[in-house]
């Protein structure tokens, strides 16, 4: 069982950033309004995330670190729709198999909180006002071969920061905070999409940004596109979401590059924060649990739609 979990961990838990992604998605699934992330040594030494969500009751907490302990998929239709961000109850079990893991949680209405760890799976009473705190320490302490593949603290922190920004941009109505070694690096108050986009992408992006809104049948694309001069690097300013999930997809990237073709020069890159909403049945998001790929059923139509919407918006004046 431990071995199976460790094998699964190789898939799900590539590095601290992948742990952070799973934990933030769990906090979102729990209906949290405020999520705080604290990291030590790029998340390798410690990754702590606290939320004010619905919490986990004692019985579920006893199972939370076991494989396939998910509260989210009740039926086969659920599995197909994948309404929530979670992936089949493997994340916590996988994480607990390769790091010291502690979960403290107080379910809504419970008299007090309970705590489990990777070693003590019987819940013990604990103190916590609300929500859930997950602490993950010494990633890969028991699998040194894996640990060797981790990069420097600042590189790992950079990946965590990417994940944090990707999640936060898509959820402007939720407050977020991230700190490293006790220093708060980003504090995001609950707000609207425009404000959150400015916070994540910066004033330079916003100064040249054009709001985009396009609809075609069941397809809806919204967000901002900006001029390439303000994209500092590929990584910095390219955010694309499908039904709220961050994706980096070849087809989408191609459509965007085509739309920007006339105004791209030198080593500049398109800069955008775009949200595509569509029928979940038209897109397969389970190509890989930890990856950002998707597969569209009607790839050509999606490509055309995105290309036209972006081309049209780029041709319009800045507001
Ligand atoms: P999944 O998210 O696919 O269900 P996980 O292993 O990530 O699987 O989580 C297992 C279960 O633990 C979840 O289904 C949920 O019930 C519970 N859980 C995990 N994190 C939280 C949280 N922050 N708040 C409330 N419940 C949580
Ligand atoms: Mg999950």
Measured in Å, residue 8 CA sits from the centre of ligand 2 at 14
Structure tokens at 299: 């790839």
Strand 238-242 to 271-277 pairing: parallel
For ligand 1, residues with CB inside 6 Å are: 22, 26-27, 30, 51, 53-56, 60, 64, 69-72, 86-92, 132
Ligand nearest to the CA of 87: 1
Give the ligand 1 atom nearest the CA of 51.
23
Asked if residue 43 lies in contact with residue 156, where contact means CB atoms within 8 angstroms, the answer is: yes
Distance of CA 20 to the CA centre of its chain: 8
ipTM above 0.85, yes or no: yes
Structure tokens at 127: 């103190």
Asked if residue 49 lies in contact with residue 35, where contact means CB atoms within 8 angstroms, the answer is: yes
pLDDT in tens, 156-201: 999 999 999 999 999 999 999 999 999 999 999 999 999 999 999 9
Asked if residue 62 lies in contact with residue 122, where contact means CB atoms within 8 angstroms, the answer is: yes
Q: What is the pTM of this model?
A: 0.91
Along the 319 residues of the chain, how does pLDDT read in single tens digits?
666 676 666 667 889 999 999 999 999 999 999 999 999 999 999 999 999 999 999 999 999 998 765 666 455 455 444 444 444 678 999 999 999 999 999 999 999 999 999 999 999 999 999 999 999 999 999 988 889 999 999 999 999 999 999 999 999 999 999 999 999 999 999 999 999 999 999 998 999 899 999 999 999 999 999 987 554 554 578 999 999 999 999 999 999 999 998 887 766 788 999 999 999 999 987 766 666 888 999 999 999 999 999 999 999 877 6
Measured in Å, residue 93 CA sits from the centre of ligand 2 at 10
Strand 210-216 to 219-226 pairing: antiparallel
Ligand nearest to the CA of 131: 1
């Amino acid at each position: 069982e431990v071995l199976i979990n460790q094998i699964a961990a190789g898939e799900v838990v590539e590095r601290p950033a992948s742990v952070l992604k799973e934990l933030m998605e769990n906090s979102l699934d729990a209906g949290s309004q405020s999520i705080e992330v604290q990291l030590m040594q790029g998340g390798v030494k410690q990754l702590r995330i606290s939320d004010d969500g619905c919490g986990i009751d004692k019985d579920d907490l006893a199972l939370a670190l076991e494989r396939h302990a998910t509260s989210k998929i009740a039926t086969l239709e659920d599995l197909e729709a994948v309404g929530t961000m979670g992936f089949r109850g493997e994340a916590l079990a996988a994480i607990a198999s390769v790091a010291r893991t502690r979960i403290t949680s107080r379910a809504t209405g419970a008299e007090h909180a309970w705590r489990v760890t990777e070693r003590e799976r019987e819940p013990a009473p604990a103190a916590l006002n609300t929500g859930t705190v997950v602490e993950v320490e010494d990633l890969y302490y028991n699998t040194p071969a894996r640990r060797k593949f981790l990069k420097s603290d600042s590189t790992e922190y950079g990946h965590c920061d990417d994940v944090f920004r990707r999640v936060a941009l898509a959820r402007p109505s939720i407050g977020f905070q991230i700190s490293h070694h006790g220093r708060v690096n980003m504090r995001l108050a609950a707000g609207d999409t425009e404000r959150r986009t400015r916070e994540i992408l910066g004033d330079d992006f916003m100064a040249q940004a054009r709001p985009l809104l396009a609809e075609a049948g069941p397809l809806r694309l919204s967000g901002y596109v900006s001029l390439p001069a303000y994209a500092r690097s590929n990584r910095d300013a390219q955010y694309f979401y499908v039904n709220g999930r961050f994706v980096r997809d070849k087809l989408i990237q191609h459509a965007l590059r085509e739309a920007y073709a006339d105004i791209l020069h030198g080593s500049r890159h398109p800069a955008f924060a775009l949200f595509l909403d569509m029928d979940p049945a038209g897109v397969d998001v389970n190509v890989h649990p930890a990856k950002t790929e998707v597969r569209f059923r009607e790839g050509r139509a999606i490509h055309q739609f995105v290309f036209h919407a972006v081309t049209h918006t780029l041709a319009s004046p800045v507001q």
